[in-house]
Amino acid sequence: MEVCYLIGYPVGHSMSAVMHNAAFRELGLDYRYELRPVKPEELGAFVATRLREPDVRGASVTIPHKVSIIGHLDEIDRVARGIGAVNMIVNDGGRLKGYNTDSLGAFQALEEVYGDLEGSKVVLIGAGGAARAIGYSLATTVEELVILNRTIKRAHDLVKGLSNLPDRSAAISAHPLTREHLENAIFNANILINATPLGMSPKTDETPVDGDLLGPNLLVFDSVYNPPRTRFLREAEEAGARTLSGIRMLVYQGAASFRLWTGRDAPEGLMARAVEEELGGGQL
């Protein structure tokens, strides 16, 4: 049996094992997916030992390791290197290669719900690994990308990285995550994205944006998927906005990872249903 892990800290909120194990069973593959909490100070040792063993096919990577994992890998895919974050790893005979499937997953989810993203104006909250991936997928398509983050230096660093993309189309700017800057940015936006952990279980009372700033002209996307209807999404719905749960991004990035590990197309519909059922009927 081949093993795939989710490595992060914490990992108890994750639905990745539910999703991937359902897919492995459906296709009759001798694979198992396990959640593996790894503290930051343990990351190097875990990658150097267990992750390279012959029965380990690879791993998904989540908070807080998506950036720090890069220094422990043998090779980084071009897209992941451009993003500056890794969310999945393939073990090929003890050699570890890092990829980023979050970017593809986010773009696919947004385009399915919003339509053609070309010419759109997007506000992105966050500057960590998820924000890097989402920003990378949008910088070459949308007209305007405004990045808001509590630590403004990290937002500026992200803007600098995205601005250097050779096929960038977006005008990109960074501002502190304050009510004033949120209000100004949202006023001109078509899409508002939360790429932070705010609102994730168990701290479900948190939200990155006060509900009174939201309105009916927005598509509001939360990369958080547990719970599937975060406070952020509930208040967006109450304000008349269209909403997009993080479940769709989870499934699409997971399907891309599944193909890299197994060489088989993933049963995306089954994966989505497994997550929805586990979360009590949450919708894509």
**Which residues are catalytically annotated?**
66
For 280: left if phi > 0, alpha if psi spans -120 to 50, otherwise beta; the answer is left
User: 84 and 161 in contact (C-beta within 8 Å)?
Assistant: yes
Distance set, CA 158 to CA 100, 128, 163, 171, 246 (Å): 16, 9, 8, 13, 22
* Strand pairing category for 56-61 and 88-92: antiparallel
Nearest C-alpha neighbor of 160 from the set 149, 173, 148, 144:
173
Measured CA to CA, the distance from residue 125 to residue 130 in angstroms comes to 10
Q: Which amino acid is at 19?
A: M
**H-only helix segments in the chain:** 16-27, 43-48, 78-83, 102-114, 129-139, 152-163, 179-187, 231-238, 246-262, 268-278
For 139: left if phi > 0, alpha if psi spans -120 to 50, otherwise beta; the answer is alpha
The length of the chain in residues reads 284
